[in-house]
A and B are shown apart, each in its own frame.
Chain A
Amino acid sequence: MFSWSTIVENLPYLLQATRFTLLVSGLGMGLGLVMGIVLCVARLSPIRWISRIAALYVSFFRGVPLLVQLLLAYYFLPSVGIDIPPLWAAVCSIGLCAAAYIAEILRGALIAVPHGQAEAAAALGMHPFTIWKRILIPQALKISMPSLVNELIMLVKVSSLVSAVGIVELTRMSQSISAATFRPLEIYIAAAAIYLVINLALAGLGQALEKRLDY
């Protein structure tokens, strides 16, 4: 009853679409990291209204389901005359949402760096920029590494949602194939297996990275 041949025949198509899953989640992570750092700095800013805006951003993007955010971007961008390919709109949506989570991860990590170290550095006359570069960021990065890898794994999983706005990545491709072959069980299990392999690999990579950063 379980048709292995369906999986074997369609595996090349699934793997081809997997590239877009990796592309969307990878670019989303990149954008999320950049925006997340900016947001985190804004959140910790002593100027009240800047930190308020950053907090509002984090609360909105963490409070609204990503699928709703994706649909919002999908309808919103054309309605204000911004005409960018759907793939980029999806990457931006995922990145904007990831930024909110990453900002909180980084904030938690920065708070976890003992306060005395930054004070000691300031007492030694280090420039604030040097303090960030030499003391705060290296340690915060190490503390936040497991959470950041987790976030990347989350992104690979939520990238399946961009199928809803018509981007042909792994999930969308398996939808088309199962519609064409009438074998949804086999195809979706194959897709699940591919996602699982990617995420287990990322988790393993994260552990190796953690060991290297362990000094």
Chain B
Amino acid sequence: MDIDLFVQYGPILLCGLLNTVLCWIVGAAGGVALGFVIAVAMYYGPRPLRYVLRGYIEVIRGTPFLIQLFILYYGGPNIGLRLDPVPAGILGLIIYGSPYYAEIFRAGLQAVPRGMIEAGRAMAMSEGTILRRITLPILMVSSVPPLTNFSIILTKETAILSIVTVPELLYQVQTMSAETFAYMEAMFALALFYWGFVEVISWAGRKLELKTNAFLSKELSA
């Protein structure tokens, strides 16, 4: 393998990596936020709204991410939605991730012990206070493991953004190999890189999980 190649293309690759990380972080954060709103709306909202959101979840989860990106990026201009590749990619990730995050929050909301909410009511707490002081703190802690898990899955989905010309890592590597014909080496190095990247994030996720677990047991036994 030619090391000079990676030196020469270093800046481009680094730029690609930054775009990958940017899309991932903003996409995951946006997905978590949107998913949270959806879950809360489904839990507290009126029945018709619940049906609409259920439909949204089923449609997004039942269709490929690539097709969603095509609709957004190539179909969007038909209805006046013109986006540059990077914003389109980030918006795509937010939309794609939101139903999965919403389901995580929904399960978390259902798992909040009823007795605690009843105890809050018995203490004459208002519904808003119960939400802020009891439901949300427990929800935030219990949802951390599945949230990190799905966010790790999302890192791999960022590679798909290269197909709609988002200049992320895979896209830059493909540009590099098209100019140098070093397809095999570049793709192999990229695979190894992603592998290491995902392993490191998973490791960090497990650490975070252990920390929050300790917090949760204290929280619930106190």
Contacts and interface: CB of A to CB of B under 8 A. Distances in A.
Nearest to B200: A63
Interface residues of B, number: 37
A60 B57 CA distance: 30
Of A66, A192, A195, chain B has the most CB atoms within 10 Å of the CB of A192
Contacts, number: 117
Interface in A169-199: 171, 174-175, 178, 183-186, 188-189, 191-192, 195-196, 199
Interface of B is mostly: helix
B158 to A, nearest CB: 8
Contact of A188 (B62, B67, B194, B195): B67
Nearest to A79: B184
B29 interface: no
B70 A175 contact: yes
Interface string B62-82: 111111101100111011000
Nearest to A21: B64
A161 B164 CA distance: 12
Contacts of B71: 184-185, 188-189, 192
Interface of A is mostly: helix
Contacts of B162: 67
B160 interface: yes
Interface in A195-211: 195-196, 199-200
Question: Which 10 pairs of residues, A with B, have the shortest CB-CB distance?
Answer: A185-B75, A65-B159, A160-B64, A184-B74, A63-B198, A185-B78, A65-B156, A199-B62, A75-B183, A63-B195
Interface of B: 58-59, 62-68, 70-71, 74-76, 78-79, 156-160, 162-163, 170, 174, 183-184, 187-188, 190-191, 194-195, 197-199, 202
